A and B are shown apart, each in its own frame.
Chain A
Amino acid sequence: MVVFEKPKALSDAQMHYCPGCTHGIVHRLVAEVIDELGIEGRTIGIAPVGCSVMAYNYFNCDMIEAAHGRAPAVATGVKRSDPENNIVFTYQGDGDLASIGMAETVHAAARNENITIIFINNAIYGMTGGQMAPTSLPGQVTQTSPYGRDTDVCGFPIKVCEMLSTLDGPEYLERVTVNNVKNVKNAKKAIKKAFQNQVDGKGFSLVEVVSSCPTNWGMTPKAALQWIDEKMLPYYPLGVYKDRSAEKEAL
């Protein structure tokens, strides 16, 4: 009897992620949601540039590899090519989404583009070896902020959900994390809602997942999960930042 199996939307390819990295968890949650909604056959995923660049190998749905930061623009094209049928998601890190691709992110949100964005915020550039990200915390030591992020020189981290929530466009914005079982379950709920919104034609849904990078944070996987609680979440509070349908129902 099978008691635990891999989601069907995940491929058999062996993932390249470091031990303790939370990409694997989030990939699984996305795949579970695709399975549960029965949308694999009409889903097209867009991979970013960054650690999850090879996400195109890990999902069984059709996949596209985008240029750095351009995934929301590519997703816009894919969605608009067949809006009735295509379910389109992007999977992007903080450098991709909040630095080089900020314009694409903001404008896709402003247009309420009917797509789903999974945004991995681990406050660092992973693939290139641990440079300062737009979401690196004040004082955070990285390869390019070796004395700690000096906000006088490099400015302050960007809080994506808060910023996008000022726009009239987006349908749904929520920040979650995956550093313990309870939080993983909440993250799953948010990701499912973000896909369900698209199926229902509601529009732009972004789930920010506060994640860990033990390798480039220089921590054990366990210490990294604790660092999320102690350092990341005070700066990036969890919660729903926008839910237009719920707001309408409340009225």
Chain B
Amino acid sequence: MSDKVLMKGNEAIAEAAIIAGCRHYFGYPITPQTEIAAYMAKKMPKIGGTFLQAESEIAAINMVYGVSSTGKRVMTSSSSPGISLKGEGLSYLAGADLPALVVNVQRGGPGLGGIQPSQSDYFQATKGGAHGDFHMIVLAPSSVQEMADLTVKGFDLADKYRMTTMILADGTMGQMMEPVSLDYEIAAPVEKPWATTGTKMERKHNIVNSLFLAPDELEKTNFERYDRYKKIEETECMYEEYMMEDAEICVTAFGIAARVSKNAINEARKQGIKVGLIRPITLWPFPTAPYKKAAGQVKEIISVELSMGQMIEDVKLATECKVPVTLCNRTGGMIPSPEQVLEAIKNAAKGGTK
């Protein structure tokens, strides 16, 4: 399997999930992620797995909750409006400490929005996504290869920390085709003694539950969960730095925006502007270290986003506003062009913060 195959991003996610041992997929049709469901519908019956088209996104995420309760790897995928519907289930998964993989191939919003690529679910994904104190691990692929790699990684992280991993992709990532290598060493399955697999009359019953009517008990579970989150923040941050060594200007972007930004950076470098890129791969936990470093090094950070500016808030928090952070964006399904990003870089180079 070390040979590269040409795949769509959505298909790469589906195949990687199967390689990672996922045998249960539940979903509901929505553009631009339907290839994942179609791939699973074709593959799962042939490998003894389950593909089920649920009656709604709500049902799909609750089917995920059911399979996850029994300790098996399980996933669902959707796009922005569908993820909103899954919000309830995401909160319950967090409350019951259940692992799951959820893919959001984002499209423009709010409301029904559009079907073109977007990154405007950043707040929803990184700040919890539904009611209550909780987080999901959020991974942002920037190539078809990463769509696959982060899917495999995402299952491992979900099992390790008993929580949802969300792959936060966008319509471009889902639809574009690139060569992918699917050569993975799959880790041994994690023990799940908490799973409701039937007592076999050999142990006390297990209960999967998120109800704690006594406030002190609920507080305790939330404190314990956040202790785990702290450990994740300390150990699981992933990011890429590109030409940051001598950078005087820093561009930051994830997903498709990072690819566009790299083109602009390469062009700016040709024109003699010392500019680099910080590309967060984990959006939660947000990798603060490279930004802290950049804050003492560059004169401006430009956040390139397919939204009205959402990640920019985390960049400002990470840098403690020690350096100007500006926004270069398109939204509603539009993608910033390399020229637009280059203009922003040149403007910063002139010292011309708006």
Chain B residues, Cβ within 8 Å of A107:
54-55, 59
Q: Given the interface contacts A43-B198, A86-B198, A107-B59, does A77 sit within 8 Å of B69 by beta carbon?
A: yes
Q: By the criterion CB–CB under 8 Å, are B92 and A67 in contact?
A: yes
Q: Which of B205-213, B236-244, B336-344 contacts A (4 or more CB under 8 A)?
A: B205-213
Q: By the criterion CB–CB under 8 Å, are A70 and B59 in contact?
A: yes
Name the one of B62, B69, B201, B209 contacting A40, with C-beta atoms under 8 angstroms: B201
Q: By the criterion CB–CB under 8 Å, are A66 and B207 in contact?
A: no
Highest count of chain B CB atoms <10 Å: which of A42, A70, A77: A77
Q: Given the interface contacts A43-B198, A61-B198, A67-B92, does A78 sit within 8 Å of B70 by beta carbon?
A: yes
Name the one of A60, A86, A103 contacting B59, with C-beta atoms under 8 angstroms: A103
Q: Please, how many angstroms separate the alpha-carbon atoms of A66 and B64 in the complex?
A: 12
The size bracket of the interface on B is: 35 or more
B78 CB, nearest partner CB in chain A, Å: 15
Q: Mark B317-345, 1 if CB is under 8 A from A, else 0.
A: 00000000000000000000000000000
Q: By the criterion CB–CB under 8 Å, are A62 and B59 in contact?
A: no
Q: By the criterion CB–CB under 8 Å, are A62 and B207 in contact?
A: yes
Question: Does A184 reach chain B (CB closer than 8 Å)?
Answer: no
Question: Does A25 reach chain B (CB closer than 8 Å)?
Answer: no
Q: How many A-B residue pairs have CB under 8 A?
A: 135
Name the one of B56, B63, B205, B210 contacting A77, with C-beta atoms under 8 angstroms: B63
Q: Given the interface contacts A65-B211, A103-B55, does A73 sit within 8 Å of B200 by beta carbon?
A: no
Chain A residues, Cβ within 8 Å of B64:
77
Name the one of B67, B89, B210 contacting A81, with C-beta atoms under 8 angstroms: B67
Question: Does A198 reach chain B (CB closer than 8 Å)?
Answer: no
Q: Please, how many angstroms separate the alpha-carbon atoms of A61 and B205 in the complex?
A: 5
Chain B residues, Cβ within 8 Å of A62:
196-199, 205-207
Q: By the criterion CB–CB under 8 Å, are B65 and A41 in contact?
A: no
Question: Does A104 reach chain B (CB closer than 8 Å)?
Answer: yes
Q: By the criterion CB–CB under 8 Å, are B62 and A104 in contact?
A: yes
B213 CB, nearest partner CB in chain A, Å: 9
Q: Given the interface contacts A56-B207, A74-B69, A80-B24, does A67 sit within 8 Å of B89 by beta carbon?
A: yes
Chain B residues, Cβ within 8 Å of A65:
96, 207-211
Q: By the criterion CB–CB under 8 Å, are B202 and A41 in contact?
A: yes
Q: Given the interface contacts A59-B205, A103-B56, A107-B55, does A64 sit within 8 Å of B199 by beta carbon?
A: no
A31 CB, nearest partner CB in chain B, Å: 12
Chain A residues, Cβ within 8 Å of B50:
80-81
Q: By the criterion CB–CB under 8 Å, are A73 and B58 in contact?
A: yes
20 A-B contacts (beta carbon < 8 Å): A42-B200, A44-B69, A44-B70, A56-B207, A60-B199, A62-B197, A62-B199, A62-B206, A63-B208, A65-B210, A67-B89, A70-B62, A70-B65, A76-B66, A77-B26, A77-B62, A77-B64, A80-B52, A80-B63, A104-B59
The 6 closest A-B pairs by CB, nearest first: A77-B66, A73-B62, A62-B196, A107-B55, A77-B63, A70-B62
B interface residues, Cβ below 8 angstroms from A:
24, 26, 50, 52, 54-56, 58-60, 62-70, 72, 74, 88-89, 92, 96, 196-202, 205-211
